[in-house]
Every structure is written in structure tokens, then in C-alpha cells.
Amino acid sequence: MTQSPVVLATTEQSDPRYRQIDRLPTDEIARLMNAADSTVPAAVAAAVPQISAAIDEIAARMRQGGRLLYVGAGTSGRLAVLDASECPPTFGTDPEVVRGIIAGGPAALTRSVEGAEDDAEAGAAAIREQGVGPLDSVVGISASGRAPFVVAAVTEARRLGALTAGLSCNTGVPLSAAADHPIEVIVGPEVVTGSTRLKAGTAQKLVLNMISTISMIKCGRTFGNYMIEVSASNTKLVDRAARIVGEITGADLAVARRTLEAAGHEVKTAVVMITRDLDADEARLLLAAYDDRLDLVLEAREQTA
């Protein structure tokens, strides 16, 4: 009886164009890698309809108090934790609102934890430990789309009523079948066969950028393209916050700095203080009356002007 040939996932296939790279000069290898990387944005663009559909539902739940949880293993898990960890300083979110879960736990951030991605029960348990419910969104991330830890986590999250998405770089994979929103970004074989920290990792980071950033925009955590929730925790960020206040209000930079300091380095508070001629406490009360939405406060000012 003839056996059917094994069909490798595209992320595991070997690209013949790169089989002699160990014999090439550094400059040529770098150019080959750069050319390969340049194909990733087009692959992401092809998946934008699926990405957007997932984001709309994620943002809707977050506006009702839901959380966004990323789940991954290996490189995918590290990217999950990275994107989640950037949300508090960039968008002023509580660290519990956007979280990254990596197979093998925190130790896996800096070293490989053998077998962690194959532990399906640990993936399901990680979701139960987070108390996931119907307002939450869980995004599973796996380049192959087959990591048992990730597939089981998404399956359990869906069973518990959460919104689920599955981000992979192959088609027709278990992760896609497990999720409400399958997102398949097909980047093809890697320059180094099977090293999905390369194109697949780049694609995943681009998609995670979209998911977190657009969700925050939809939740009112930016004003236009300004980071109005930025945590001004160092000199660079204080300078950035002052520029934002000045650009939104039209105030002189010196005035923006003084007001920002009086506002406890809260950008939104400083903007309201200047535009409505209020002190910090009054500005905070006004923001609270408009669900802490700067856009609504400024729209109300325009309507009454």
C-alpha cells in the first residue's frame, strides 16, 4: 500500500533559494534576508479583513470592561508578552487589562522550556486560572497553528464564552478551527528553514501591533494620533507629553509644561485645564462626567462655544 506523502506546513518547508547561504558573503545574505522580510507586509495586508473583524469585537468587549489575553509558546509567546507589556506605558491601561501568557511561564521568556508548547492541559489550565469569561478576548498565537498549549487555551476560552482569535502563518490548522476568528498570515518558508522567529515572527508582531493599538484607539485611549494616556515616567516621556498638550491646545510649550506639572503629568487633565480654564481637580471631574473621554469633553466644548 502506497503511503501519501507528508505535506509540510509552509513554515517548515525549505526554500531552495537559500540552500547555499552559508557560502555567501555577509552582504548578500543580508540582502536576501531583507528581500524576504519585505514580503511580510503584503501577507499581513491580505489578512486585514480577518484582523479587522476580530479587532472590532475585541474593542467592543474591552469597552464593557473586558480583558485582552494573548497566549503563545516560544517566539510567539515572547511577542505576546512584549506587546501586552507595552500597553500600560503607551495607553495608560491597568497591567491586568492586556496580558500575555507564555507556555512554560516567565522562565520561558529568556530560555527554552522544553515540551511546554506540547502541554495541552497546561494551556487550558492557564485560561481557567485567569478566570476568563464572556467579556474577555483571547488571542492564540502560533506560527505553525498547531502548538497544543495554544490550541487548548483557545478551545477552553471559547468554551467559557470568551471571544477567541487564532493567529498563525499556515492554512487549515487546528488553531484556526478552534477560534471564532482565524487569522492566517501566509509568509512562506523561512530563510533558515523552520526558524519562525524570522518572517513569521515579524508578521505576528505586525498583527499584534494592529490588535492592541486599534483596540486602544477604539476605546478612546488616543486623541487623533496622540498618546493622551502616555505614562510620563522619564524625561523623554515628560517632553513628549508636554508637546502633545501644546499641539492639542495650541498653547505655548512653556505653558503646556507648567500645566502638565500641575496636572500630575496627566495629559488629558492638562488639556482640559487649558481648554476649559479649570484647575486640575475640576478638570478631572469634568473628564469623569464624560467617561474619561477627552474627545467627548472637547466636542461638548465646541457645541457650547
Q: What is the pLDDT of residues 144-202, one digit of tens each?
A: 999 999 999 999 999 999 999 999 999 999 999 999 999 999 999 999 999 999 999 99
Listed residue (58, 99, 85) closest to 231, CA to CA = 85
pLDDT for the residue numbered 250 = 96
Alpha-carbon distance of 147 to 64, in angstroms, equals 31
Alpha-carbon distance of 29 to 78, in angstroms, equals 26
Q: Which residues contact 6 (CB under 8 A, 6 or more apart)?
A: none
pLDDT for the residue numbered 37 = 97
**Three cell numbers, residue 199:** 518572517
Q: Beta strands of the chain (E only): which ranges? A: 68-72, 98-102, 137-141, 163-168, 181-184
User: What letter represents residue 292's amino acid?
Assistant: D
In the chain, what are the domains? 40-218 (3.40.50.10490), 235-304 (1.10.8.1080)
**Three cell numbers, residue 262:** 500641575
pLDDT for the residue numbered 305 = 56
Q: What backbone torsions phi and psi does residue 178 show, to the nearest 5 degrees?
A: -80, -25
Q: Is residue 177 helix, strand or coil?
A: helix
Q: What distance lies between CA 193 and its chain's CA centroid? A: 26
**Three cell numbers, residue 215:** 483596540
Q: List the Cα angle 70/73/77 in 5-degree steps.
A: 45
Alpha-carbon distance of 81 to 136, in angstroms, equals 17
Mean pLDDT, rounded, of the chain: 94
pTM of the model: 0.92
pLDDT for the residue numbered 231 = 82
Report DSSP letters for 186-214, one per residue. Answer: ---S-SSTT-TTTHHHHHHHHHHHHHHHH
**Three cell numbers, residue 168:** 498563525
pLDDT for the residue numbered 4 = 47
Report DSSP letters for 221-265, one per residue. Answer: -SBTTB-TT----SHHHHHHHHHHHHHHH---HHHHHHHHHHTTT
Sites in the chain below the pLDDT cut of 50:
1, 4, 6
Point out the residues that are catalytic: 86, 117
Phi-psi region of 27 (alpha: psi -120 to 50; beta: other; left: phi over 0): alpha
22: buried, middle or exposed (CB in 10 Å: 19+, 13-18, 0-12)? exposed
Alpha-carbon distance of 150 to 120, in angstroms, equals 7
Q: What is the pLDDT of residues 292-303, one digit of tens each?
A: 999 999 998 766
